[in-house]
A and B are shown apart, each in its own frame.
Chain A
């Protein structure tokens, strides 16, 4: 099915489009961003600089970007999917040669006015290209091995390049989001069962082989895996962050210690308190009530995206919206699991709350796409 088949008169046009935006979603995004401003103000010791103020400017920029993207018809974005994906791959390649080093990994390209992280961009363009692929692919072919291999390669290409940076967190997110879209598109479940089975088998083999003659990894690699999986075994190194993070969370209690009263963050016991670990400050200062509220806001954003996607009969639009929602979910789920000691520490920020420019802009761009899908959804007739 294609956009040409529904009549233009059923789709809003001109400035009126703004009335047809998914406003609840936009308001939820703004609410989460405000939580971010509040926390950045708090971790700076009650000051708008150096974090809260730039973050607010960026959010305004991002919000305008979202509106602009939303105004552009979704079919334009569908046509752009291939170009965007190719461009992203070029940028990822560019990072290899011109990238700036940050924390020992090449991650961004300095564009002068901002630092662009192509790996952030890859999360969106991968979703776009996969959605466009399954929109184009006749549905009876979707589970044939050749037609499964193509999206797998589309996923593995950016994953491999991001892994080289090396950015393990983002590559896992890319892998999961790509796999999620293939699942949503209806690829036969046996493929997923096979991949998951093989993964579990490989991991089991790696651990089973430890200490035997056919050991698959070197001893030091095992030790690295140990501290990665169980930071508590290295309380002064990797474990320090997780321990302090859990102390901050736990000491918040039901209602928290009060705005700007969190001793763990104020006295610098928390690592990266304005970026990856900002959730701990929220949990410390506003307690279970505050932390759970943020989780609810996030869940509502997912719910509104899913509702919008399922109401949309355009296959590209609904796959795109669901993919963006999945990406967003992976973002906060991995970050929260990490700071709560459920997952190893990988550098994933808390979406819309952590301080960070390109992550915020790319997210707002993604929600712009979801809004465009919402605004330009087919209203009646085929």
Chain B
């Protein structure tokens, strides 16, 4: 087929024109692509470079080693020991079930834990190590290491785990650590990034919780390059963290272990405090528990056993328990009257066994009455009527104010959980809280430490220390942080008449050392360490008039929960006071029988710095004490525990 030449030329011209148009469009598009490149790669380069770095660089925190805790003599109380765990990496293991089975032949694995680990391995990225077994013993670990070639993907890892070498002796003081919970995170404002590390451990209660900031330390960090799947390709750099500060407590481990052993079998607490500088040498509550159980994750069975026990092992009775101080409060009532000049020490009051106040009859614990008593005799025999009489004269406001000067009704600043404030009532308090006006009967009850009054063993120890030293000494639990000595608890003079204080001490001395004193049975006969103290028996029930007529039911005949609390406070040596002791035996009956013997043993142990010679005890007690010492020697832990390889 032939076409005219002019047609061909025309067609080609049209094609050229159209090609020019299309070419122009293409050129414009290429220009647009170039402009886009320039926009992305030149104008916004910095921003995208930053995003690329964010993509590939990950900051991983390095947890710092937690500060360790020692007693005043350097005995380790809370340590970090290497703990071994076995982890598995799915992509290295290949057949994970087979690997776990092979591993199970070498070490005992918890089936539940294995199921959890297998499920987690299947779910997460193949290169992530998943823990299969924790708290593996050194022997098991060695066996795994030796057999490593037969166990692909299985590797042992070393971490630090918290151990309390003296276990239950310090459960209430130190508390324990545990993994951060959601509740913890909610509670803390702006939490440290460290807390987001899975299974990171923080203090839960006690010193571990209260000094958490110092103990935790500062996290280190390593910058790693990761790929899109999150696999770490290499480490770019690393900055080590700062380990937490080491603590030294004022507690004397040897004494603490002794006291804990001595309280064994009771629901009781005891405090030993230095009267000059306030150092708390021992804080014990019984029964106790093993904090190491909590670190590992306590089983619900063990936990239920602790919570359902009626003697409340989890309660730190020495600082958070509050009890009516009972007759141990009489020193405060007397000091209030003496300081006001309302009585002379030789002034006597007649005790017929009861006293009518505002139309109500108040009884003395001794139904027959004490007859004529002065200050010293009233304290020594714990006559109630004498103090009823004083209280009516002095009034509650003065008594309450005096109690506060002795450290009662005040929350002492020591780093333990739930330190109790106790209660020292005033007229204002009663109308505010109960909506009733104060009546004189309330004052009468308060005078002998009953009624509204509540105080903790710690407060009673402070009260006794202040009586003994005449200074406003404050309790101190932390001796050093990071080797830096913390402020002493020594305080200024109480500003009370030294004669009055001396009379009180003398009366307390008589209580223990005079034949008719309520604590005569618990006296010390070694002159250098003689003690002065006061018994207390605080009622936890009302004695009705009917019961009083029929004869008060003896404590031994009551169910445990309704028996009286037994209290005893003392300081020693009388001539040169060094320590103050407070002992409370819950529902123990009379203070002289249940609490004073414990206080004597604790006092002697503290003053001798170890087991006291039998010669310090009255002759007739020696055989019994000798036996008791033998028993206690058996249940005390070895004080210089090195904590080497026990978990």
Contacts and interface: CB of A to CB of B under 8 A. Distances in A.
Nearest to B44: A250
Contact of B19 (A249, A264, A309): A309
B45 A254 contact: yes
Interface in A238-264: 244, 246-254, 263-264
Interface in A206-240: none
A274 to B, nearest CB: 15
B190 to A, nearest CB: 28
A180 B22 contact: yes
Interface of A: 1-2, 5, 138-139, 180, 183-186, 244, 246-254, 263-264, 267-269, 283, 287-288, 291-292, 295, 298-299, 302, 306, 309-310, 313, 315, 318-319, 322, 326, 329, 333, 336-337, 340, 342, 382
Nearest to A322: B19
B486 interface: no
Interface string B22-49: 1100110110111011101110110111
A250 B11 contact: no
Interface in B544-570: none
Contact of A288 (B2, B8, B19, B37): B37
A333 B41 contact: no
A10 B45 CA distance: 55
A340 B40 contact: yes
Contact of B18 (A2, A186, A264, A329): A186
B36 A340 contact: yes
Nearest to A183: B18
Given A139-B10, A318-B12, 10 more contacts: A1-B2, A1-B3, A249-B37, A249-B48, A250-B44, A309-B19, A313-B12, A322-B22, A329-B26, A340-B36
Contacts of B21: 183
B119 interface: no
A43 B1 CA distance: 55
B12 A186 contact: no
A298 B29 CA distance: 12
A315 B36 contact: no
Nearest to A182: B18
14 contacts: A185-B18, A249-B48, A253-B42, A254-B45, A264-B55, A268-B227, A269-B55, A283-B37, A283-B41, A287-B41, A288-B42, A315-B8, A333-B29, A382-B5
Contacts of A295: 30, 33-34, 37
Contacts of A250: 40-41, 44-45, 47-49, 51-52
Contact of A264 (B8, B37, B38, B52): B52
B42 A268 contact: no
Nearest to B23: A306
B358 interface: no
A252 B45 contact: yes
Contacts of B37: 249, 283, 288, 291-292, 295, 340
A194 to B, nearest CB: 17
B233 interface: yes
Contacts of A138: 3
B228 interface: yes
Interface in B45-76: 45, 47-49, 51-53, 55-56
Contacts of A247: 48, 51-52, 55
A246 B40 contact: yes
Contact of B8 (A254, A291, A337, A382): A382
A251 B34 contact: no
A326 B7 contact: no
B225 interface: yes
A2 B5 CA distance: 11
B46 to A, nearest CB: 8
A268 B55 CA distance: 11
Which 7 A-B residue pairs are closest in the complex by CB-CB distance? Answer: A250-B48, A251-B52, A267-B227, A253-B45, A288-B41, A268-B228, A186-B14
A254 B1 CA distance: 58
Contacts of B146: none
Interface in B379-427: none
B7 A139 contact: yes
